[in-house]
Amino acid sequence: MIKVLKPGFYSTIQDFGRFDFQDFGVPYSGVMDKKAAALANALLGNNEDEAVLEMTMTGAILQFNNQTQIVISGADMSAKLNDDHIKLDKIVNVKPNDVLSFGKLNMGFRSYLAVLGGFKAETVMRSKSMYQNITKQFMLLKNDELAILESLPISETQYASIRFDNSYMNCNAIEVFKGPEFDSLTKKQQDDLFLKSFTISKDNNRMAYQLEEVLENNLKPIITSAVLPGTVQLTPSGKLIILMRDCQTTGGYPRVLQLKESALNILAQKFTGKTISFKLNSKY
Amino acid sequence: MAFKLTYKPFGERAILIEWPSKIDDAILIDIINFKQKIKKSNIKLLVELKSAYNSLLIIYDDFVNNFKAEKDIIEKIYSSVESLEKIETFLWRIPVCYDEQFGLDLNDISIEKKLSKEDIIKRHSQAIYTVYFIGFLPGFLYLGGLDKSLHIPRKETPRLHLEKGTVAIGGGQTGVYPNASPGGWNVIGNSPINFFDVSKEQPCFAKAGDRIQFYSIDLKEYQNIKILVDAKVYQIESEVIND
């Protein structure tokens, strides 16, 4: 068991998400940066989609009740076990009463804590991902107790030391495909999408990232239709909204672009004030 | 009836199929039938289908590497003639309390539309609504069939908090908020019914193609039904529609 001494700014348990319930209006949810979460799990020998703790901007303070192994991946939040700094993407052995804490955010925005065997949280609709009105709890709170494997399997595997390329976190190019309404845009609007750079506004969270710069817009709303994580919507006021993992299942704004799935991982590590530019992938 | 459909890639693992751009019962029936054919066809790698008023999204569990080939497969399924099992559709009778405690905007609508509150309630509860799809939030039914005299623009400033069960109208639509949420529609009442139950494999009682009719209840009946709903013993009145 892990005791939450402080939850951090916004921490949730996430696996890869809740599939097959879109037709009931249920969002996918799931880790914002799949690449980081999958790596943390893989290093421990977990399935890549095992439930992890996703921490946003500031990390939690956690006390372990039993022995286990952990890996932290994603954003660099100056993790410490007791008084010792620990490295990202490395297996760390944890003893009972050890305290994991975080400090300054050095790189990225979302950090992942994976534990051996994964977090044993409530499963609703075949997923452990927290979401309001689906799971009983939708974010970590002080004094929560998080269940983990109490007894360690005997591990004989020696994991190679992996050098993981974290450079995607600093990448500003967001690869996209044309969205369903892209062709309704004027040539000028299309050009602007790829020539301008865009700033992430303060309205950014697990549901959506809104961008600051305004695009000239005279498109009519569409009849409500499907949207996906990574869909870029153009609002009547000309603002662009990039939908993220917790997004609603349908929407009425024109869908001008669709992010490449790997670009969602890049965006998940960005925050207010960072700039991005869209790069068209013309595979489709 | 066969419509002219368009097929578009939507990211790396989804294909969007679109019907003519309108809200229409014939399109709804065509989408429901197409969904049924796709489910029977065992397209490889299919994960899920998500429908809306005039669209169907096919989501695969792997990248679609050859859009053209995949599109051909789907088009063949659309044009195939199959005897489909008749899906039973239901008419659900949903109690709504239009008391002023819940109907926060009834007064304003009454003034704007020059209709008495009783008239608004009567027109709202007389209509039989078609469930087009479930979207936006878990368990939110998109309903068609609101009486034209009740069409009213969304509020200029959305409310930050609408209670669970809020019944509202906005534009040409009406709906029930399955859980507390912000919302910009005009609030006329509240239903004690659960529109979304996480403990069930089918979390919504209604499905696309079903019908909904509201009926007016007073505060006392509201409280009584609420108790039964909370105890999970309330049975929503329903009948099978044969058409």
Residue A25 shares a structural domain with residue A61? yes
B235 pLDDT above the threshold of 60: yes
Q: How much is the average pLDDT of A187-212?
A: 96
Domain count, chain A: 2
Q: Count chain A–chain B contacts defined by CB atoms under 8 A.
A: 110
Of A151, A167, A183, at which residue does a domain stop? A167
B154 pLDDT above the threshold of 90: no
Q: What pLDDT digit, counting tens, does each position of A113-168 carry?
A: 999 999 999 999 999 999 999 999 999 999 999 999 887 765 655 555 667 788 89
Rounded alpha-carbon distances, angstroms, from residue A227 to A246, B50, B125, B203: 11, 10, 32, 21
Question: Look-up: residue for tokens 């009486």?
Answer: B147
Q: What pLDDT digit, counting tens, does each position of B95-106 carry?
A: 999 999 999 999
Per CB distance under 8 Å, which residues of B are interface residues toward A? 8-14, 16, 18, 21-23, 47-55, 57, 59, 67, 133-140, 142, 178-179, 196, 198, 203-204
Cross-strand bridge partners of residue A209: A204, A242
pLDDT at B54: 96
Q: Supply B59's token pair.
A: 């989501």
* DSSP structure string for A33-91: -HHHHHHHHHHHT--TTS-EEEEESS--EEEESS-EEEEEEEEE---EETTEE--TTS-
pLDDT at B158: 83
- The Cα–Cα gap between B238 and B221 comes to 18
Of B34, B53, B79, at which residue does a domain stop? B79
Smallest CA–CA distance, residue A78 to chain B, in Å, is 35
- The Cα–Cα gap between A40 and A251 comes to 34
Q: How much is the average pLDDT of A192-216?
A: 96
The answer for residues whose C-beta is within 8 angstroms of residue B118's C-beta and 6 or more apart is none
Enclosing domain of residue B32: 6-79
CB A138 within 8 A of CB A129: no
Residue A16 shares a structural domain with residue A127? yes
Residue A27 shares a structural domain with residue A56? yes
Residue B73 shares a structural domain with residue B113? no
ipTM for the whole predicted complex goes beyond 0.90:
yes
pLDDT band at A227 (very low <50, low <70, confident <90, very high): very high
Of B57, B79, B101, at which residue does a domain stop? B79
Q: Return the amino acid letter for A251.
A: G
Q: Report CB contact under 8 Å: A22, B140.
A: no
Smallest CA–CA distance, residue A114 to chain B, in Å, is 25
Residue B41 shares a structural domain with residue B148? no
- The Cα–Cα gap between A31 and A12 comes to 9
**Residue B1 within a domain:** no
Q: Return the amino acid letter for B145.
A: G
Residue A18 shares a structural domain with residue A109? yes
Residue in chain B lying closest to A135 (CA): B198
Q: Supply A50's token pair.
A: 């095992």
Residue B120 shares a structural domain with residue B25? no
Q: Return the amino acid letter for B103.
A: G
pLDDT at B37: 92
B183 pLDDT above the threshold of 70: yes
Of B79, B99, B133, at which residue does a domain stop? B79
Residue B105 shares a structural domain with residue B184? yes
B243 pLDDT above the threshold of 80: no
A243 pLDDT above the threshold of 90: yes
pLDDT at A27: 97
Rounded alpha-carbon distances, angstroms, from residue B115 to A30, B120, B172, B175: 47, 6, 17, 20
Which of A133, A225, A284 is nearest residue B138 as measured by Cβ atoms? A133
**Count of C-beta atoms within a 10 Å radius of residue A252:** 14
Residue B35 shares a structural domain with residue B143? no
Residue B103 shares a structural domain with residue B160? yes
Where residue B46 sits, what CATH number does that domain have?
3.30.1360.40
Residue B149 shares a structural domain with residue B221? yes
Region class of A121: left (phi > 0), else alpha (psi between -120 and 50), else beta: beta
Residue B98 shares a structural domain with residue B55? no
What is the three-class DSSP state of B108? helix
Q: Return the amino acid letter for A30.
A: G
Residue A11 shares a structural domain with residue A149? yes
- The Cα–Cα gap between B144 and B138 comes to 18
Strand-strand pairing, B211-217 and B89-97: parallel
Residue A38 shares a structural domain with residue A150? yes
Q: Supply B89's token pair.
A: 């559709």
Smallest CA–CA distance, residue A158 to chain B, in Å, is 31
Q: How much is the average pLDDT of A266-275?
A: 98
Where residue B113 sits, what CATH number does that domain have?
2.40.100.10
Residue A132 shares a structural domain with residue A222? no
pLDDT at A154: 57
CB B193 within 8 A of CB B235: no
Mutate to test the interface with A, among B15, B23, B50 (most CBs of A within 10 A): B50
Of A118, A150, A167, at which residue does a domain stop? A167
Residue A15 shares a structural domain with residue A138? yes
Rounded alpha-carbon distances, angstroms, from residue A51 to A21, A155, B165: 19, 20, 32
Question: Look-up: residue for tokens 């695969």?
Answer: B60
Q: Supply A221's token pair.
A: 């709303």
The answer for residues whose C-beta is within 8 angstroms of residue B148's C-beta and 6 or more apart is B172
Of A167, A189, A213, at which residue does a domain stop? A167
Which of A22, A222, A284 is nearest residue B50 as measured by Cβ atoms? A22
Mutate to test the interface with B, among A224, A255, A262 (most CBs of B within 10 A): A224
Q: What pLDDT digit, counting tens, does each position of A6-62 carry?
A: 999 999 999 999 999 999 999 999 999 999 999 999 999 999 999 999 999 999 999
Where residue A240 sits, what CATH number does that domain have?
2.40.100.10
Q: Report CB contact under 8 Å: A224, B135.
A: yes
Q: What pLDDT digit, counting tens, does each position of B45-63 carry?
A: 667 999 999 999 999 988 9
Residue A23 shares a structural domain with residue A114? yes
Percent of chain A at pLDDT exceeding 90: 88
pLDDT at A157: 56
Residue B99 shares a structural domain with residue B182? yes
Residue B75 shares a structural domain with residue B97? no
Smallest CA–CA distance, residue B151 to chain A, in Å, is 17
Could you tell me the pTM of the whole model? 0.94
pLDDT at A160: 55
Residue A116 shares a structural domain with residue A224? no
Rounded alpha-carbon distances, angstroms, from residue B90 to A55, A200, B9, B97, B128: 45, 46, 34, 22, 12
Enclosing domain of residue A243: 171-280
Residue B74 shares a structural domain with residue B101? no
Region class of A230: left (phi > 0), else alpha (psi between -120 and 50), else beta: left
Domain count, chain B: 2
Residue A160 shares a structural domain with residue A26? yes
Residue B13 shares a structural domain with residue B108? no
Q: Report CB contact under 8 Å: A250, B54.
A: no
Residue A157 shares a structural domain with residue A217? no
Mutate to test the interface with A, among B134, B163, B185, B201 (most CBs of A within 10 A): B134
